[in-house]
Structure formats: structure tokens, C-alpha cells
Amino acid sequence: MKAQMNDQAKPLSGALNAYDAAPVGTRFPVFFALVDQARQDRYHQTTDINGAIFAGLADISIFAQDVFRAIAKAGLPNDGRILVRQRLFQTGRVALGEVLSVEVEVGPYDEGPRGRYLTCHIAFRRANQTVPLRMVTQHLLPYDEAPTPGAKTPGKAEDPRAGMEVVGALKLSPEKVMGYSEEVGNRIHFDPEFAASRGYRMPLAQGPMQLTAMHGAIVAQAMPWEMDLEIRFLRPVFWDGELTLYSDPERRVYRCIDGNGKLTAEAVLHHLTTVDMEP
């Protein structure tokens, strides 16, 4: 059911009620972003990626951080907001240092048992008006009184590793998590007391860390020219966690699995083109 942003809507946690001032159709201030070598190296160092596989091209997963920057520049809080789903539509390669405008529009809200869901549609536009990258993100804005996060569901789930092959790993640490999320500023990633106030035993790794790790595994096979990649973030990952990256043999489904064998994130390639073309 679509949230109508009216007086009957449940109160959100902390300062997140500020999103009531951003109804469907709201456009955030446009700003410009780029991924240069220094920025890319920083993100790859925190996600255990060999940056040489990008060979002078930008890692488009890093632009996901600019979505959070756009929200903050619009005067809306990052603290306590949780990314649950993201989709990337790439229609061209982006060079290192290439400047793109970041254009964000608020889509429909949904209501769920734990909170309100904010959808954003994002275009990354070149100076010549072409758009090599689009994203759609969905964020959970928790209610003031929400069910405890990470509650177990009944029944025995299938092993998410079945039929999959190991394609990488990501060993987290507080330093890596804080380094990856420093541009975002969400205290749930670096403040133990704030994380505890939201029901978590310690700060969480930012969801896009898993996106960057899985995207790195994709690029290790071949650098995409066109791509439609959908990611779901399914379980919290703490800043002391260890993840193993898996893929199906066709390299169309990628998964992050924690040390307990639990699926924390899954990426599905709906479309992929890897041709040898200049960006």
C-alpha cells in the first residue's frame, strides 16, 4: 500500500520524520560527482578488491554513495536509514575522473511492518546530456516502535551456497567499515551506542560494501558495457563480520554469505553486455 504521508502515518524513528517533507516527485538539488583514482582506491582497499581489473574505468558501484550524499544535501537525515534494495542500469562505461551530475527524484513510498520505504530514482548525466548510469534505491525508514531487527523466521531455509561457486571474500573490520562509509555519515556504521539504540549489537557495514564486492567479482570476469544489476540486502552485517562471495556457474547470481552460512545480500544480473568498446 502506498504511504500517503498523512496524519495517520506511523511516526518514524528519531529525526526520520523529516522525510514527510519529501513527498513523491520531490527533486533534490543537483550536484556533480566523479570517481577519480584516489576515491576508487579508497573504496577498493576497504572491500578487498584488486583495482587493476578496472583499467582506467570508474567502478560504478561507488556512485551509489552519491545517492546518500544527495539525500544529505537535501537536508534529510542519513542516521538510522537502512538500504534494502538497489538496482543499477548501466548503458555505457564511465572513465575515471569523468564528471557526472547527480539527479535524484523521490518515488512512491510503501508501508511495511518495520517502517516506511523510501524509493529514489537517480540519473547520472554527462555534460552532453547522455545518461550512462541510472539507479533505483529503496530505503527503510524505521518506525519509532518497530519489531526487533533480525528476527528469525520459522521453517528451515535451503542452503544459499548450494550449486554456487566461491568467487571472493570480504573480511570486515571497524576501520574498513568506517573508511567505506565516511562520505555518508550515517552513525549506524560507526557509533556503537547509536547502533545499540536501533537494536543492533554493534555498528553495521554499509549495504553498498557488499554491492562493491559483488560488482568487483563481476568485473573480474569482464568489464560490463551494459548492465542491469539488482541487489537485495537481506540481513545486517556487523563491522567485525566475514563474508564469502558466491556465484552460480552462469555468473548471473551473486551472493554474500556470512560465517553462519546465512545469506546477507544477493545480486542478480538481468542483463549483461561485455564488448570491447571505448567509453
Digit-coded pLDDT (tens) for 255-276: 999 999 999 999 999 998 986 5
- 176: which DSSP letter? H
Q: How far apart are CA 269 and CA 258, in angstroms?
A: 21
pLDDT at 15 exceeding the cut of 90: no
For residue 239, give the nearest of 182, 192, 183, 185 by alpha carbon.
192
Burial of 230 per CB tally in 10 Å (0-12, 13-18, 19+): middle
State the cell numbers at 183. Answer: 562520505
CA–CA distance, 258 with 247 (Å, rounded to integer): 14
* pLDDT single digits (tens) 117-151: 999 999 999 999 999 999 999 999 999 875 555 54
Residue-range domains of the chain with CATH: 14-146+159-273 (3.10.129.10)
